[in-house]
Chains A and B, each alone.
Chain A
Amino acid sequence: MSDLPNRKPETGAFFARDRLWHPPGLTPGYKTSVLRSPQKALFSLDGTISEITGPVFGHSILGELDNDLIHNFAKPGESAIGERIIVHGRVLDERARPMPGALLEFWQANAGGRYRHKKESYLAPLDPNFGGCGRAITDADGHYAFRTVKPGPYPWPNGVNDWRPAHIHFSVFGHGFAQRLITQMYFEGDPMIWKCPIVQTIPDKAAVEQLVAALDWGNTIPMDARAYKFDIVLRGRRSTLFENRMEGN
């Protein structure tokens, strides 16, 4: 499954997750969480081999247009409507080491805030040339990039008048199943971010700011597409130097 660049595989257990930094399960302002959140305490389990290993995907799974949402669903010669942007960044671990071979999958609404999904009934129209999914695998330095159109804000049935800020969903695989993460990317300067009940599930303002992509003027391509930079941090691994039962890992 793997075509990772040469590097000794890491086998340490992961840093404990800071659950005061992540959103808790029960966040009543986000109504659906009320009946979908466990009420009993989580059972702590320091990484066994079942958690520290995980699937790793090779670049061979990628198609040519997988990281181009402007074109990967469009008819030949056509393209999606909206603000053309490039989203790029790095996947790092908590030790600030780049994560090569990390699979990212992203999905989003179109420029009008409409998702291509059968359960979606928002009156804004579908774009016939926009599907809304893409994926990429980080290179040896942990970099990824994709092209898309900037998604529009989107109303949802939570409060009477709740709207999601413009956002792109990210699903990330590191190298261990315990690193599995789904999050959302927001856009610099969007006033909707601070009104959103889903954003507000995150207790720490600094943790929210870490999910806001910066307008990257340096990488903006003149007469083509603006760039946003979005780095993602996955859990770090303990060094195996002091693990006293290597064979049991």
Chain B
Amino acid sequence: MVQSLGYLKESASQTAGPYVHIGLTPNHAGIGGVYDTDLGATMVNDKTLGRRITITGRVLDGTGTPLKDALLEIWQADAAGLYNSPSELRGSADPNFTGWSRCATDGVTGEYRFDTIKPGRVPFRDGRPMAPHISVWIVARGINLGLNTRMYFADEEAANAEDPVLARIEHRVRVTTLIAAGEGDHYRFDIHLQGERETVFFDI
């Protein structure tokens, strides 16, 4: 026998279920008085540096029906391209920007909304700059393991063209599924879980 590596197995994922809001956005779910505010309800304050933007969209199933019980989390760099994380060793991120937020899709319309700032560029593993992007994680009833994707910006055409991640997507028609339409302050990013317009999801 060779030596054991001694590794453990990661705990297997299970669906977040239809009542994920009880645990992750209890005030939004009508369970008041336990937490002052829902975690991740805001990611900016008056002093946050950078250009304010709003992102809205829906998560659609294989029939095009919006999910009214999904929950999204986003993670992004600050305006200077630094992450508010202990693993960020390149410098100190904007202390007035958390970089992380969560939002449940609306129970009637299926819309989600994030008020944030446009992120700066951060380097790929080999040092080349990636285009500005926001990491997105989606959980819901019927999703057994959270889905990871990225949102890029339609008005960053030059940066997107040299982005090392987008460049590796073989089927070029699918790159557009990662690019949020809109310019200025409002971007629209619909996520298609399945079918012809299926969003590119990542194994990260």
Contact = CB atoms under 8 A, between A and B. Distances in A.
A166 B123 CA distance: 45
Interface in B159-192: 165, 168-169, 174
A63 B13 CA distance: 28
A40 B149 CA distance: 13
Contact of A180 (B73, B99, B140): B73
Interface in A25-57: 25, 27, 30, 32-40, 42-57
A249 interface: yes
Contacts of A105: 23-24, 39
A117 B17 CA distance: 12
A171 B22 contact: no
B10 A51 contact: no
B14 A54 contact: no
Contact of A19 (B99, B169, B203): B203
A208 B9 CA distance: 12
B171 to A, nearest CB: 9
Contact of A92 (B8, B63, B73): B8
B202 A43 contact: yes
A243 to B, nearest CB: 9
A155 B100 CA distance: 35
A233 B125 CA distance: 26
A211 interface: yes
Give chain A's interface secondary structure class.
loop
A247 B143 CA distance: 36
Contacts of B204: 14, 45, 47, 51, 177-178
A30 B14 contact: no
Contacts of A117: 18-19, 21-22, 29-30
Interface stretch (B44-52, B109-117, B129-137): B129-137
B20 A107 contact: yes
B133 A50 contact: yes
A39 B146 CA distance: 15
Interface string B78-117: 0000011111111000000011100000010000000000
A232 to B, nearest CB: 5
Given A21-B9, A171-B16, A181-B11, A245 B127 contact: yes
Contacts of A2: 86
A55 B84 contact: yes
A111 B95 CA distance: 42
A233 B11 CA distance: 5
A132 interface: yes
A22 B12 CA distance: 5
B137 A118 contact: no
A210 B12 contact: yes
A157 to B, nearest CB: 10
Given A35-B142, A55-B100, A171 B147 contact: no
B55 interface: no
Interface in A95-109: 95-96, 105-107
A141 to B, nearest CB: 16
A45 B194 contact: no
A245 B26 CA distance: 42
Contacts of B84: 1, 55
B201 A201 contact: no
Contacts of A87: none
Interface centre among B23, B29, B195 (most CB of A within 10 A): B23
Contact of B85 (A36, A53, A236): A53
Contact of A132 (B11, B22, B193): B22
Given A42-B201, A45-B203, A175-B87, 10 more contacts: A35-B63, A38-B193, A50-B77, A63-B35, A115-B19, A131-B22, A177-B204, A178-B204, A182-B16, A210-B9
28 contacts: A14-B204, A18-B10, A22-B10, A22-B144, A36-B67, A37-B143, A39-B194, A42-B202, A44-B203, A45-B204, A48-B165, A49-B88, A53-B75, A53-B83, A55-B85, A72-B34, A96-B8, A116-B29, A119-B18, A119-B107, A133-B26, A169-B20, A176-B87, A177-B137, A180-B146, A201-B15, A204-B12, A247-B127
